[in-house]
Chain A
Amino acid sequence: MEALSLPAALSLVAGGGAGLSPELRAALGASLPLLQRDYRFERVWFWGCIQGVRGAYYIAQGLGPDRAAPRSRLYSMNCLDWSLLTPATEEMLALAEEVKGRFQGDPSFEYSLAEINPEAAARLVQSGKEPVMKEEARLIATIEQIDRAVGIVPRGAFVKTPLGSVHENRHFEGLSLVEAKKLSSYFHFTEPTNLKNKTLLEKADLDPSTDFLNSLEHDIPQGKGSWSIQLEKGGSVVVLRSLLWLGLTFYHVPMTKQFGYVYFGTGEKNLDLPFML
């Protein structure tokens, strides 16, 4: 969520019971603008918080002029001192899938891969590295996974220019109440995968400047889907909660430009989803 609208946004997302203490809010209000200045970001988003057993990681994202470019991510243990995280690699993502369980809360903690996945450990040893995975790498991979899987935006909020870069649509007035209840009005903010699979008839209805992303209605499991849509405050806020990554909450105030998502959770994927629906 946008750093500037953080207080208002946090109160909209608070329906799940998770939030930030006044101390952390004040710290964010002071340190996020400084981040923007130091790293020369155009926008700074507060991404959320991953609860470890002994401590919590607070994550911020910085965006450059092209909003769809890979984002810089920073983490902090106290919302004041931020450290830049390296971009995620496929190898990190593959290893992170193996490591299960809570985050420990210590960025230098090492997960011993030999216990978890001996094959991966053997491969690492062969390539000359130690068979461990640092918690920091797991953090990077988890944030990337969450963003790819459930980072969503409303339809029409971003436009793609003919040159290929993406930025906010200044004409976006918000979804209407009817549109806001439909899953098809929200897109994943990552590289689209199934746009090419649509038939020509469907593609004819799409507007290439706004419909360049995957919509939510094709999320597995189909039907009930992996999202819970609720209208809070009698329809003045629409809140989507992801069931796959429990703790990700997206909010949007219909007919206004306000939207955003934040993650407050343990950083674990909910693999039991098919049994729970």
Chain B
Amino acid sequence: IPPTFEAAEKCKALFIKEAGEEEHEDLDEEMGEPALPNVMETAFYFEQAGIGLSKDECYYIFLAFKNLISVQPIQTCRFWGKILGLEMNYIIAEVQLREGEEEEEREEEEEETVAEEEKEMGEGEEEEEQKEKEPEPPKSTYKPPPEIPKEANGTGANKYVYFVCNEPGKPWVKLPPVTPAQIVCARQIKKFFTGRLDAPIVSFPPFPGNEANYLRAQIARISAGTHVSPTGFYQFPEDEEEEEGGDTYEENPEFEPPPVAEMVESLAMWAHHVKGILKQGRCVWINPAQKSEEDEEEGEEEEEEEEEEHQEETGQPLLTLISEDEGMKNIPAWTAQASTNLIPEYSIAILQSNRWPGAYAFASGRKFENIYFGWGHKYNPESHTPALPPPAEAEFPTEPGITEAADPTVEEELAFKAAQEEALAEAEEEEEEEGEDD
């Protein structure tokens, strides 16, 4: 079967309305806001700036979202963007699941990890019995730095859940939550995506995961760096105490959209609404020196030796204006333009990110949206320099017994012997003198 027809069949399948959908439509009206994002409307606005996919592809994506919503328990959903790959591309949906569903998944994950640990303990015991017969090699004293725990689902870098598919019509795959180690490593490597989620990432430093994890880490970095909204659209809720580390925001009902000319002129009219990721890899800093209950007994002595001062990292608070984003060399972090100069009454404000080429945002009245079309890499004014391998570790601690010293040469030995004989001769003379005194 020629592939053209297969793909056409899949696209046609998107258009077929299932029998049970009429019931769902009644339910949706009761629920309130529709979960399905209006992809075509967003595409229209971005098209005014020359950004976006062809109308056909947008419509297929629209229908694919409809399928996603009917299959997964989704509360809100948004078209995040498209990341290009070598063999296939990724279409990415940013989703918030309904609350009950996430807890079920967490329980499943915990059960899985507990089962794995039990298996490992069982295997460890068998290995120990075998090892007792042989003399054991010296144990390494290397303690890896404590693993920084990932953020809980629904907060920080894991605030949203992401679903990806290669093409509209193909099944949606859920990406796993991101861990700080993955973000820290993703900052140091630069790799093209192949388009297959299970592809390994071969890099240095070795990436802890496969392409699905790398994709999720890049999505987290792009969201944290480039998701912006008009200043004032979101505000901190007044009921709660205003902590600087606040993660929640709500829409401001009294927001009055400023005119487009102002939004283009001054970058202070835009604000980030996603928390930035700290160097640690999380949005909220955690002190890795706080060990869990199991390790406390072993770790008490070690804590005294290894008191490294982990400086608390603070990032920018949540609704920071983007005018505070640093530029690189002489390039500002953002470029703002109006979509048209010929018809100013209907133009919209467009923001392009220079730090993440491919990230765009538009604002027109109360409507705004962010999107990403690109290869998924950050802009680096200099060339990418991969991390150097760490220096070779010492095999054993240096002690006098095993340090090498140069053997004395023949002249040195003779000189030493002569000096010793002189010392002996002097000692004998002293003894003789003392003897004579008696």
Q: Is the CB of A102 within 8 A of B331?
A: yes
Q: Is the CB of B383 within 8 A of A17?
A: no
Q: Is the CB of A272 within 8 A of B55?
A: no
Query: Which residue on chain B has the smallest CB distance to residue A249?
Result: B84
- Partner of B54 from the list A14, A101, A177 (CB cut-off 8 Å) is A14
Q: Is the CB of B381 within 8 A of A101?
A: yes
- Partner of A276 from the list B87, B192, B330, B340 (CB cut-off 8 Å) is B192
- Partner of B342 from the list A23, A53, A271 (CB cut-off 8 Å) is A23
B354 contacts partner chain A, Cβ-Cβ < 8 Å: yes
- Which of A38-46, A201-209, A225-233 binds B? A225-233
A85 contacts partner chain B, Cβ-Cβ < 8 Å: no
- Partner of A54 from the list B84, B335, B386 (CB cut-off 8 Å) is B335
Q: Is the CB of A275 within 8 A of B52?
A: no
Q: Is the CB of A234 within 8 A of B4?
A: yes
Q: Is the CB of A17 within 8 A of B6?
A: no
Q: Is the CB of A18 within 8 A of B54?
A: no
Residues of B close to A16: CB separation below 8 A: 84, 373
| CB proximity of B326 to chain A, nearest CB, Å | 15
Q: Is the CB of A230 within 8 A of B57?
A: no
- The digit string for A5-33, where 1 denotes a CB below 8 A from any CB of B, is 00000011011111111111000000000
Given contacts A228-B87, A275-B384, contact A14 B331 (CB under 8 A): no
Chain B residues within 8 Å of A, Cβ to Cβ: 2-8, 10-11, 47-57, 81-82, 84-89, 189-192, 329-332, 335, 339-340, 342, 352, 354, 357-358, 373-375, 377, 380-384, 386
- Which of A141-149, A150-158, A235-243 binds B? A235-243
Q: State the CA gap A66–B218 with chains docked (Å).
A: 47
A182 contacts partner chain B, Cβ-Cβ < 8 Å: no
19 pairs of residues in contact across A and B, judged by CB atoms under 8 Å: A11-B55, A11-B56, A14-B54, A16-B84, A17-B51, A17-B81, A19-B51, A22-B47, A53-B331, A53-B332, A228-B87, A228-B192, A233-B4, A234-B10, A236-B4, A266-B357, A271-B383, A276-B191, A276-B384
Residues of A close to B52: CB separation below 8 A: 14, 17, 19
- Partner of A272 from the list B49, B86, B383 (CB cut-off 8 Å) is B383
Q: Is the CB of A17 within 8 A of B192?
A: no
Residues of A close to B4: CB separation below 8 A: 233-236
Chain A contacts with B in 92-106, Cβ cutoff 8 A: 100-102
A12-B54, A17-B53, A228-B87 given. 15 additional CB < 8 A pairs?
A: A14-B54, A15-B53, A17-B81, A18-B373, A19-B51, A21-B50, A23-B48, A24-B50, A53-B332, A102-B354, A177-B2, A230-B89, A231-B3, A234-B4, A235-B4
Given contacts A17-B52, A230-B87, A234-B4, contact A246 B384 (CB under 8 A): no
Q: State the CA gap A51–B359 with chains docked (Å).
A: 14
